[in-house]
Amino acid sequence: MAAVDNMTTRKGALAFSPRAVFDELKGKIARYRLYRQTMNELSTLSGRELADLGLSRSMLRSVAYEAAYGTE
């Protein structure tokens, strides 16, 4: 039989309060909007402009994702 010495939650006791849920959802929406805005702006660039930035079309999603969500 296993014993539990220390039990913690991810965000504490208030993680499921309506305010915390709303704030988390608001943050997710803001990050997604940043991702979409970055994708839209990069998509409008020509191949030559992307090459000047050192990017190719195949990299656009990963660049936009990193801009919005960071690297993990």
Using the predicted structure, report yes or no on whether residue 12 has a pLDDT greater than 70. Answer: no
pLDDT of residue 71: 79
Reported as a single tens digit per residue, the pLDDT across 49-70 is 999 999 999 999 999 999 999 9
The span from the CA of 32 to the CA of 24, in Å, is 12
Q: Please state, for a pLDDT cut of 90, what percent of the chain lies above it.
A: 68
- Residue 26: which residues within 8 A CB-CB, separation 6 or more? none
pTM of the model: 0.72
